[in-house]
Amino acid sequence: MEILGGPLFGVAGAGESHGPAYTTIVFGCPPGLYLERAQIQRYLDRRRPGGASLGTSRREKDQVILTAGLYQENHERLTAGPSLSVDTDGAEGSIPTYEAGYTTGEPIAALVLSGGAHTGDYSQFMGPRGDVRPGHADLVKYYQSRGFADPRGGGRSSYRATISDVIGGAVARIFLNTTFQTVFLSNVIQVGTLKARKTLASVAEAVVNERTQRRPLPGSVIATWQRTLETMPFPTLDAVFAAEAAQLIERMREEGESVGAVVEVVGVNVPPLVGSPLYQSLKLRLMGALGGLNAAQSCEIGSGLEAVERTGSEHNDPIRSNGFGANHHGGVLGGISTGMPLVCRVGFKPTASIRKLQLSVRKDLTEVAFRLQKGRHDSCVGIRAGITLESRMAIEVMNAVLMHQAQHVGQEPFVLFNRSG
């Protein structure tokens, strides 16, 4: 069973690209967090296809439905979510779902119905004589499943499966923001050979260094970054770079080509001291979660590969009584968070689905000259990946926070009756 995060906080999902729905189970959220369906929906709106002008033309509403894990005494408010209807053998039943409530500590269940699927676009890949798309998992999935893999839209390997990541990440980031004022942001810093001159990591580090690191960054500063990122054709703080990259992506689309991208994801106000030195290292968990996303080819933390070119004295971050003087370490030392901004960069390959003629095979290994016949695909998949990277970072930080808290056991949580009398 695939689980993102864990063992204390994690997400499990089920569903295929052209299946009826995606089902998500989020487990490990402590009780007492007030959670609204609309909060989760806002993050899903950023993820859904058609949400960006330079992305795929596929349109999905992706409305989340909550069916378990919440409660409040105001049942009218609790059950004000969308009605869920089922028609079986002519007998139709309709039940309300959850709109808002407090987490109970039990698993949270969510459902997102699918729509907008053009299954006929994938007839080219059906059956043992179906074509194999270069750069995709078609061939390995077909043989791994002994021929029973769902080829429509990539099946379980589709980027659409990240719906579960975003739902689980939404719960994690709401909890972390409520408790620590933690916020996760992402910023496109490279498309093809074009590189941004301004990065979120450098801006965040400069603001942190202006104030004592014992206090969180104010919400007003973070809100300014968020507004800037939301006004661009795709999320980046560099307006000049945004215009140049948008032109490049559009040119790739017209030529039937694709291009790669680098996305930085930054966590600010991350609590220090979470993570472990070795097998539960926050660095290990982040590199696996972020670098394991669909189409990701690389993952760096802090200064990344640039550290290779420096001497130790150049790379080591000065430490004073009020905090760190720089953030080459990217918020993690020895696998443990330092309280500085958590900085990662993820490189995405060019989208594999392109219209140009390529060499490939059919599933029976007959060699063919492959040309994509139909489909709606991103010319640069990386520009839509930010919300998922943020979500995966939030899930791993949330799990690390709970793991750290488990090491600090006191008597109070174990009292059933008042023993003072």
Structure token pair of residue 156: 């379980």
What is the reported pLDDT for 314? 93
145-185 confidence digits (pLDDT tens)? 888 888 877 778 888 889 999 999 999 999 999 999 999 99
Q: Using 70 as the pLDDT threshold, list the residues of the chain that sit under it.
A: 1, 49-60, 116-119, 211-214, 375-376, 419-421
Question: Residues near 66 by Cβ (< 8 Å), separated by ≥ 6?
Answer: 37, 40, 81, 97, 98, 99, 108, 109, 110
What is the reported pLDDT for 51? 45
Domain range summary for the chain, segments of one domain joined by +:
4-88+95-402
What is the reported pLDDT for 11? 98
Sign of the C-alpha dihedral computed for residues 399, 401, 404 and 408 taken in this order: negative
What is the reported pLDDT for 89? 75
DSSP sequence for 22-88: EEEEEE-PPTT-EEEHHHHHHHHHHHSTTSSTTS--------EEEEESEE-S-HHHHT-S--EEEEE
What is the reported pLDDT for 19? 84
Classify 186 as helix, strand or coil: strand
Structure token pair of residue 26: 């989020």
From residue 227, alpha-carbon distances to 82, 108, 222, 237, 331 in Å are 30, 30, 9, 10, 24
Classify 152 as helix, strand or coil: helix
Question: Residues near 389 by Cβ (< 8 Å), separated by ≥ 6?
Answer: 186, 263, 265, 290, 293, 344, 346
What is the reported pLDDT for 117? 65
DSSP sequence for 77-106: HHT-S--EEEEETTEEEEE--B-EEEE-SS
Classify 413 as helix, strand or coil: helix
Q: Supply the pTM of this predicted model.
A: 0.93
What is the reported pLDDT for 421? 53
What is the reported pLDDT for 224? 86
Using CA atoms, how far apart are residues 373 and 354, in angstroms rounded to an integer? 10
Structure token pair of residue 125: 């890949």
What is the reported pLDDT for 38? 97
CATH topology of domain 4-88+95-402: Chorismate synthase, AroC fold (3.60.150)
Question: Residues near 258 by Cβ (< 8 Å), separated by ≥ 6?
Answer: 252, 350, 351, 352, 353, 354, 377, 378, 379, 380, 381
What is the reported pLDDT for 50? 53
Q: Kindly give the interhelix angle for 37-47 and 386-405, rounded to the nearest 10 degrees.
A: 140
